[in-house]
Structure 1
Amino acid sequence: MPPSRAQITGLLLAGGRGSRMGGRDKGLVPYRGRPLAAWALERLAPQVGPLLISANRNLAQYRVLGQALGAPVLEDADAERFAGPLAGLLSGLHACGSDWLLSVPCDSPLLPADLAERLAAGLGGAALAVALDAEGRPHPTFCLLRRELAPALADYLASGGRRVMAWQQAQGAALVPFDRPQHAHAFANANDPDELARLEAHTHHHV
């Protein structure tokens, strides 16, 4: 049986450097009047049980964002070295009280409303599932994984590994397509100011 909503904890990954955003904290960049992270949390909340936020700066601001949804803020497992999304994922796995963790990035305000459901259905016995967009590109920070993967992830990080997809493939990740019309802009993100402007221009009628 695929995991149910109650068996899945949601994790917002907000620990990036934001280097392509001029060093700004991407999750706090305004999009249509609210921080990007607020939109992502709002889309994620109905799909999961408990919520967590992983960040390594501006913690007070993320606490305010998470308060309304009862989402505590975790620091990355290796905040000093900015070890990337996997460090945030490890923090989430350590803090997770349920069997499964669903991660999403903080800069994707249109993330799929059926993300948890489709990833859970696509596991097929795997311990980890990753979203593929309509073009077949993987989006490794959109992933559903078992809490039991924490030791394997800790070992990979300790060995200096940082590549999210490489670690996921080593765990036998299931790849789940999101190819319906409603998924057309679901993985659009605001990596830099130009992408943010495109998101603003193209998605008014999608939110």
Structure 2
Amino acid sequence: MNPAPSPTSPPTPAPESPSAVWKFERAGMLIFFIVLMVSLYAAHACQEPVMQWLGLHGGSPGDAPPWYFITRDFAKGICSGGALLLCVLVAAFMWRWWPGYAAMLVWMPLLWLGQDVARSWIIHQACPGLLEGQRITSRWPTFQSYQFDHDIAGANTAVMVGALLLSVVLSLGDVYVRRRLAARRATRA
């Protein structure tokens, strides 16, 4: 038997009331926005330190091959990969309580940062010796050939389509799991 509430204590909202749901969801929303903003900021802020740490020295923007852009994009991809990993790890921890926000914390950064990671991987494959300094070569003789590379364009498209498909799959999975849990609760009652 539940004791009667005292007249001086504030009423507690029912577990399914909108205010209780809002209070519960607010924490997940805050974690989502904070981690997303921190990861995007970190991906941008760590580019110069990563370039110095790896010894990536680019020329000027008018040089051929376009080392200035190649090295900057490579460092940007490494930083974006770290930020994407941070988002996925936090999403894995918050999946149990806020699966909707955890799913968004996976596919949104993938949509924004995944292209940089894919470009960095292609640069690593196309520029043997990139991290060795002296023996560096490139398959892109000019900036135009780098900018309109078919592999980079294909990877960007694949990442965008993959992120959008992942968002649909995760949303449908979330709906399916919620319905199964509701059905279990209904059969227990």
> Normalising by the residue count of structure 2, what TM-score does the alignment of the two structures yield?
0.29
Computing the radius of gyration from Cα coordinates, the structure with the larger value is: 2
Greater RCO, 1 or 2 (C-alpha within 8 Å, sep 6+): 1
Structure holding more strand per residue: 1
Structure holding more helix per residue: 2
